[in-house]
Chains A and B, each alone.
Chain A
Amino acid sequence: MTANYKISYVVRGGDHPGAIVNTDQRPLVGDRVKLGEREFTVLEVIDLIPPRGDFHYLHVTIQLAKN
């Protein structure tokens, strides 16, 4: 069965309001994620609440990626 990750992205610094997105891959610290047209680096990943069914609920802190 495929896991679904419902992620609350909180952006450190800048004016981005953050995002809530589902993915099928658990993000790891150091990963790069694209939210719309902008790319961010993952700084921290925390399980926000216990999983339910196929869904895992994560809080992920990110910051704008430096190219």
Chain B
Amino acid sequence: MDLLSVLKNAELFEGVTPYELDALTKICQQRTYNAGDVITAQGETGDELFVICDGFVEVLHSDSPSDPSPRAVVNLGQGQIFGEMALVDRGPRSATVRAISKETIVQVIKRDDFEELCEENHHLGYIVMRNIAVDLSFKLRHQHLTGQ
């Protein structure tokens, strides 16, 4: 599947115009991970947002830095995003994210590139920020449903 089709099916970009979608493709970078690869680590600083194109990742959370057995919170599959919290609030990564599929393909967006695009195009910025809020809300609802 080409990049434009992938982005069209990602909720993060629901509501952006074809012109804006084209601009977004220019700041995306594709990466591939193998099962077991750590993509982000809890507590580390990060400036990238990830869109899953194929495969699954596992989100793990530790209650403390010395916790030897982090808890699996959720698995995320095609079309989902992660890393968005550090993109928005600039805080440390809130969880460790590890690839669990043999070939997990993601698109990566760097914070500086994203913010520059939002400054140039406020409509795009509003739409994507709103979609990030909807996604965080959905994740919270999922967490409530799983009783965590």
A residues adjacent to B (C-beta < 8 A): 4, 6, 8, 10, 16-24, 35-36, 48-49, 52-55, 57, 59
* Chain B proximity of A33: nearest CB distance (Å): 10
A19 contacts B75, CB within 8 Å?
yes
Residues of A within 8 A of B79 (CB): 4, 6, 21-22
Main secondary structure of the interface of A (DSSP, over half): strand
Q: Does B32 count as interface, using CB distance less than 8 angstroms?
A: no
Residues of A within 8 A of B36 (CB): none
Q: Does B76 count as interface, using CB distance less than 8 angstroms?
A: yes
A4-B79, A21-B76, A36-B101 given; name 4 further pairs at CB < 8 Å: A6-B79, A22-B10, A22-B11, A49-B141
Which of these, B15, B71, B72, B78, contacts A22 with CB under 8 Å? B78
Residues of B within 8 A of A22 (CB): 9-11, 77-80
For this complex, into which size category does the number of interface residues on chain B fall?
20 to 34
B80 contacts A21, CB within 8 Å?
yes
* Chain A proximity of B39: nearest CB distance (Å): 16
Most chain B CB neighbours (cut-off 10 Å) among A22, A52, A54, A57 = A22
Residues of A within 8 A of B80 (CB): 20-22
Residues of A within 8 A of B14 (CB): 52-55
B11 contacts A19, CB within 8 Å?
no
Residues of B within 8 A of A17 (CB): 58-59, 71-75, 146, 148
Q: Can you give 20 contacting A-B residue pairs, CB < 8 Å?
A: A6-B79, A8-B138, A8-B142, A17-B58, A17-B148, A19-B75, A19-B76, A20-B74, A20-B75, A20-B139, A21-B76, A22-B9, A22-B80, A23-B78, A35-B56, A36-B75, A36-B101, A52-B14, A53-B15, A59-B141
Alpha-carbon separation in the docked complex, A57 to B75 (Å)? 17
Instruction: Write the B74-113 contact mask toward A (1 if CB under 8 angstroms, else 0).
Output: 1111111000000000000000000011000000000000
